Structure 1
Amino acid sequence: MRKNIIYRTALIAVLTALACVLRLWLVALPNVKPITAMFLAFALVLGLTDSLWIMALTMLATGLILGFSPLVAGQIIVYALIIMLFKSLAQLTANLGILSLLTALSAMLYGCLISVFSGLLYGFGPGGFLAYWLAGLPFDLAHALSTFIFFPIVMLILKQIKTRH
């Protein structure tokens, strides 16, 4: 039992560090990052709880480096909702193509929900929210496309690791 807890804790720590490094390494490319694909793949391969821990720790750690604000709490909340929704919907299929498409849709939903959170946080009215969301749409599309591309790669790597251990 104790060995399992130590292994899980170490795995969460290593994968959190990897997600942080990848997020920071690609900071110059807005919304082109593998972390959303990673969080969603972790939910499928490692389980919902571990994925949520990795996501929350990643967002907190990178928030401290990139600039900590109340928006980090919004990122954690919205990511948690997206991961739980994805995990629920992913149970309907094992097809990697459909799952990849679902990750892209999840990334788009993340963009919309984080815009809602930002709008509430900064006091935008309904018209202001729409303008804010539309202005960020190219970033959301880049996020969706990169998540769609990264997801099968992450899944392949995780399946290789899982079969070896």
Structure 2
Amino acid sequence: MNTYKLTLLALLASLAVVGRSVFAFLPNVQPVTSLIIICGLLLGPIAAMILALLTAFLSNMLLGMGIWTVWQVVSWALVGLISGWIGKYPGRIPVYVIVIFAVFSGYLYGFVISLTTYSITGKFWPYYLAGLPFDTYHAFGNAVFIILLYPIISYYFKKYANNRFHLQNTN
């Protein structure tokens, strides 16, 4: 990993931490998952998993650290890994496909987080079903943030992404 990629990763991590703090008043609506997806698409799966780790620990230093932090890292790293694999697809990926994946990622994140309750209490379905409205907020927020952030970030990362992953122009 070169210095330029580390700088991009640090910028995305700071944007994710600030975004998570700014939107903390809205339940499960935050730009973190969308930024991890964008990072995976443009910088690769390893960078997205590093971003997941950085964002979870740094933002939870502000918002509160607990056992859920480990599961947040696992959830976001899984989303980053999948988005990194999608980003390796040759050719341009339509934005609507990325939006659909972002919606799916909101529910995937909630499912993995719900597994923590099962590991602690042995009750999965009541907790998971009670959390579905919040997973829906997360999924909807992901779609909105992808629509807003992907064109901007991909435009500025275009030079790096073109050189590294041979992506076509996103204009």
Which bracket does the TM-score occupy, shorter chain normalised?
Answer: 0.7 to 0.9
Out of 153, 156, 160, the residue aligned to residue 161 of structure 1 is 156
The equivalent of 2:3 in structure 1 is 6
Q: 1:50: how far off?
A: 1.5
More helix by share: 1
Is this contact kept in 2: 1:119–1:129, CA < 8 A? yes
Is this contact kept in 2: 1:100–1:151, CA < 8 A? yes
CA deviation digits over 1:95-130, x for unaligned, max 9? 21122111101111110111012321x22x2xx311
Is this contact kept in 1: 2:52–2:80, CA < 8 A? no
The equivalent of 1:152 in structure 2 is 147
The equivalent of 1:114 in structure 2 is 113
Q: How many residues align?
A: 158
Q: 1:27: how far off?
A: 0.3
Please, which runs of 5 or more residues in structure 2 have no aligned partner? Answer: 161-171
CA distance in 1, matches of 2:38, 2:57: 20
Amino acid at match of 1:116: L
Deviation larger for 87-96 or 33-42: 87-96
CA deviation digits over 1:16-54, x for unaligned, max 9? 111100000110001111111110011001211222112
Please, which runs of 5 or more residues in structure 1 have no aligned partner? Answer: none
Which portions of structure 1, spanning 4 or more consecutive aligned residues, are displaced by more than 4 angstroms? none
Query: Secondary structure, in 3 states, of the residue corresponding to 1:30?
Result: coil
CA RMSD between the two structures:
1.9
The equivalent of 2:130 in structure 1 is 135
TM-score, normalisation: structure 1: 0.87
Q: 1:89: how far off?
A: 4.5
Deviation larger for 81-90 or 16-25: 81-90
The equivalent of 2:169 in structure 1 is none
Q: 1:77: how far off?
A: 1.1
